[in-house]
Structure 1
Amino acid sequence: MLKLFNYDLQNFASPSASKALLSKITVKKLAEYETILSPGQHQQNLYFIKEGVVRCYYQSLEMQWTNWFAAEGNPIFSTESFFSGNPSLEYIETCTPVILYQITREDYRTLMAEFPELYEPAFHLIQSYLHISEKRMYGSQMQTAYKRYEDFIETHRHIANRVKMQHIASYLGITPTHLSRIRREFAFKAYKNVAKINVGT
C-alpha cells in the first residue's frame, strides 16, 4: 500500500480520495547525489520517498549546513517554495539512490480542496516539522555536541549508516573530526553498558 506522510493511504483516505490521489501520482527514480531542488528554483512537485534517503542543506562558499534528512514514507518539500510559492533558499539532494512518488503542486492543492480528509495527515506533518525544528534549535543552543548526537541516533537510527559522516557532522553543527571523537565515545559507552548487562546476568 502507498505510504504518504508515514501513513498507509488506506488508513486516512476514503476509497474515492485514494483513487483520485493515486491517479495524480507518478514515480520518479534518481541516482545517488542527484539534486532535486536548488536555490532560486520554484518547487513545482511534492515528493514522497518510497525508497532511499534525501537531505536538505544550505551552502555558502565551501561550507554546507544540513537542515534535515528524510527517508521512506516522508515527504520532501521546501517550506518557502512549495507552500509560499517563493524561490527556494535551499538545496535538496539524494543521499542514496531513491524512488519517489510525485504529485504536482497544482494537483495537490486541488485534491486538498476536494477531499478535506487529506488535511489531517498534512496537519500532523506540520506539527512534526515544527516540533523537530524547535527541538533542533534548543539543542543547538542548550545541548552538548554529544547529546545532539545521541538525539540524532535516537530519531534517525534507520538512516545513520546510510549517509555520509560529513553530512551528519554538518547537521549537528560540528566538524567531522569532532564527530569521529563523539562516535568513539558513544560506541565505548554502549560497549560498557552491554558488558554491565552481561555481568549482571
Structure 2
Amino acid sequence: MLKFPDSDIASLVSPDAIRVFLQHVTRLDLPENELILSPGQQQQHLYFIKKGVVRSYYKVFGNEWTNWFAAEGNPAFSTESFLNGNPSTEFIETCTPVSFYSISKQEFQQFLNEFPNLYQLAFVFMHRYMSVAENRMYGLHVLTAYERYERFIETHKNIVNRVKMQHIASYLGITPTHFSRVRKEYAQRG
C-alpha cells in the first residue's frame, strides 16, 4: 500500500486515486548503491519510495556533493529532467535497499488529469522540496557546520543513521574529517 509520511498529505489522496495509481505503477526493488539516473539521461519515470533511502548528487572534480535525500513516502526525481524534460545534471542513487513504485511520466500526467485534485498533492510535494532547498542554501551560507548538522538531524531524523557519513558530510558542504569533528562535538554536547 502507498503511504505518505504525514496525515495532511494522506488526506489529499482518495481511496479511488490510490487504487487507480496502484494499477498503473510498477513495483521496483533495487539494492544499495544502484543508480537510477545519471547525468545526460532524461528521467522518464517518477519514483515513490515505499521503503529505503535515495540521494541525489553531483560529481565535481572527482568529488561527490549530495544535493538531497528522500525516504519513505516521498518522490524521487530530478526536477530539471522529469519536470522540464531536460537531460539530468545529477545522479540519483539508492543509499539503502529500496522499494519503489514507478510510474511513467505519461501515465503520471494521465493520472493527474483523471484526478485533478491531486495537483494539490503535487503542489504540497513541490512546496516541501522548495522549502528544504531554500533552508539548505541559507544554512550553507549563514550557519556554522555544527549548526547545519543540528538542523540536518532535526529535518532528516528518519535517515540520519541509514546513510553513509561521507554522504551527510557532502550534503553539509564539509569534508569527512571536519564532519567527524562536528559529530564528536555534537555527541559531547548531547
TM-score tier (shorter): over 0.9
Distance 1:173 1:83 in 2: 26
Distance 1:13 1:145 in 2: 38
Correspondence 1:103-182 to 2 at 5 A? 103-182=103-182
Does 2:77 match 1:77?
yes
**CA separation of 1:146 and 1:84: change in aligned 2, threshold 3 A:** same
Q: After TM superposition, where is structure 1 displaced by more than 4 Å over at least 4 residues in a row?
A: 4-10
- Unpaired segments of 5 or more residues in structure 1? 191-201
Q: CA deviation at 1:5?
A: 7.2
Which residue identity is paired with 1:160?
V
Q: CA deviation at 1:156?
A: 0.8
Q: Percent identity?
A: 58
- Unpaired segments of 5 or more residues in structure 2? none
Bigger radius of gyration among the two: 1
Distance 1:160 1:131 in 2: 19
Contact 2:2 2:18 in 1 (8 A): no
Distance 1:72 1:99 in 2: 9
RMSD: 1.6
Which residue identity is paired with 2:27?
V
Aligned to 2:88: 88
Aligned to 1:193: none
Aligned to 1:24: 24
Which residue identity is paired with 2:48?
F
Q: CA deviation at 1:14?
A: 3.1
Contact 1:24 1:107 in 2 (8 A): yes
- 3-state DSSP of counterpart to 1:3: coil
Q: CA deviation at 1:50?
A: 0.8
Contact 1:3 1:9 in 2 (8 A): no
Correspondence 1:57-76 to 2 at 5 A? 57-76=57-76
Q: CA deviation at 1:113?
A: 1.3
**CA separation of 1:161 and 1:13: change in aligned 2, threshold 3 A:** closer
Does 2:44 match 1:44?
yes
Which residue identity is paired with 1:101?
Y
**CA separation of 1:100 and 1:2: change in aligned 2, threshold 3 A:** same
What do the CA deviations read for 1:59-102 (whole angstroms, capped 9, x no partner)? 02311110001111110000000000111010000011111111
Distance 1:71 1:162 in 2: 10
Distance 1:22 1:8 in 2: 20
- How many residues align? The count is 190
What do the CA deviations read for 1:125-180 (whole angstroms, capped 9, x no partner)? 11111111110111111111100000001111111111111111100000001011
What do the CA deviations read for 1:24-70 (whole angstroms, capped 9, x no partner)? 01100000100000000010110011111110000023111100011
Contact 1:95 1:163 in 2 (8 A): yes
